[in-house]
Amino acid sequence: MLDTIIVLTSTDVANLFEIKEQTMNEQRFVNLTPHQITVVNEGQVLLSLPPTEELARVKTTDIVIKEFNSIPMYQVLFGIVENGPPAAYDPNVLYIVSRITAEALQRKDCVVPHGLARDEAGQIIGCKGFAFV
């Protein structure tokens, strides 16, 4: 049973993540994923970013813990982030990373693609925006 519901406004969220209101001209996005990132709103492309050469990745170790009918079942251990954003924080730069990378980094300048944008045929054509993790 849910005891408490917390409703946050966009101002509350901005204050929570210490985000100052900025125009698109002031904000720079860096795509550290291996995929082209396209933000689509009502069929219009708002932003399209190719991946950078340096991709942020979480180092993983796979351990086979058991098998079912010759199908291995793994325990995945997560390690350090390779090629992550620079240590110095720049309030005008947001780094687009995978969700697992964002969770490992726990940085206020990392965002993940959020919300699937689809065309009329139902094919995924991008995301609707970004989310802080």
pLDDT per residue over 37-58, tens digit each?
A: 999 998 899 999 999 988 999 9
pLDDT at 43: 83
The pTM assigned to this predicted structure is 0.74
Give me the percent of the chain exceeding a pLDDT of 70.
81
Sign of CA dihedral 78, 82, 88, 90: negative
CA distance 113 to 13: 17
pLDDT at 26: 77
Q: How many CA atoms lie within 13 A of 102 on its CB side?
A: 20
Taking residues 112-120, what's their average pLDDT? Answer: 93
pLDDT at 29: 94
Q: What is the pLDDT of residues 89-106, one digit of tens each?
A: 999 999 999 999 999 999
The mean of the pLDDT values for the chain is 85
CA-wise closest residue to 32 among 7, 58, 70, 64: 58
Q: Regarding predicted confidence, which is higher, 3 or 30?
A: 30
Q: What is the pLDDT of residues 66-80, one digit of tens each?
A: 999 999 999 999 999
Q: How confident is the model at residue 25 (pLDDT cuts 50, 70, 90)?
A: low
Q: Which residues contact 119 (CB under 8 A, 6 or more apart)?
A: 43, 125
